Amino acid sequence: MVAPARLACTLPAIAALVAASAAVAQPIATDASHPKRRAGLWEMRSTNAEALGMPPTRFCVGDQTDSHAVHLDRSAGPRGSCSLGRFERDGSAWVAESVCREGRSVVTSRAVASGDFDAEYRIDTVVTHPANGSSARREDREAVVARWLGACDPGQRPGDLVVPGMGTLNMNDGTFRAEPSRGRRAGAPTRPPAPVSAPPR
């Protein structure tokens, strides 16, 4: 069981990762104005989380989770020192760009979402930090891969983010509840998925 102190630090970090990523929809044919995921339970894995030894998370998506204003866990508009752009169609993919100010520096990010959003999707994000007096320009890369598992489990609500062994954080209202121990989810694949491949450079 994860210690409460670690849980308190880890869940907000995971929530921030999901909100920022994207990183990171539903069948492309359903709505041309924004990406929209199929309702149900999605498994989400990221290169950064796997590098830290963290397990995949599961996210319960409802029929109204992805809208024109908020989709792929991203709400466009000003957020503190950042301005988040919405996902826009770019060929067969969706692209969102954001700008954040850190002191006198301007940090930009570009997220590219691809997939059918019915069974799977992927979000590749590149965050660019400008050069300054003490460091050179650098890019941080992150990839989030999601796959549809089926219907949300009984008792789950849209917005529930499940971290195995820790608990459930609802991204809509911020409530947290402990997750009871249980065996493998019915209908889940018995073979573990391949590790998330790093974003191309």
Question: pLDDT tens digits for 101-134?
Answer: 888 889 999 999 999 999 999 999 999 998 887 7
Q: What percent of the chain has pLDDT over 90?
A: 45
Q: Is 192 part of any domain?
A: no
Kindly state whether residue 121 falls inside one of the protein's structural domains: yes
Domain annotation covers residue 201? no
pLDDT at 126: 96
- Structural domain contains residue 74: yes
Q: Is residue 190 part of a domain?
A: no
What per-residue confidence (pLDDT) applies to 189? 43
Of the candidates 9, 105, 25, the one whose C-alpha atom is nearest the C-alpha of residue 67 is 25
Residue 7 has pLDDT above 50, yes or no: no
* pLDDT for 191: 44
Distance CA 62, CA 39 (A): 5
In a domain, 106, yes or no: yes
Total domain count, the chain: 1
Instruction: Report if residue 57 sits inside a domain.
Output: yes
Q: Is 173 helix (H, G, I), strand (E, B) or coil?
A: coil
- Per the DSSP assignment, residues forming a β-bridge with 194 are none
| Separation between Cα atoms, residue 89 and residue 94, nearest integer Å | 5
Structural domain boundaries, residue 58: 4-178
pLDDT (0 to 100) of residue 77: 78
Per-residue pLDDT reduced to its tens digit, 24-42: 333 333 457 889 999 999 9
pLDDT of 80-108, one tens digit each? 888 988 899 999 999 999 999 888 889 99
The residue written with tokens 């539903």 in the block is: 26
DSSP label at residue 44: E
Helix (H) or strand (E) segment spanning residue 70 = strand 70-71
Q: Is the CB of residue 136 less than 8 Å from the CB of residue 127?
A: no
Tell me what the mean pLDDT of segment 61-88 comes to.
85
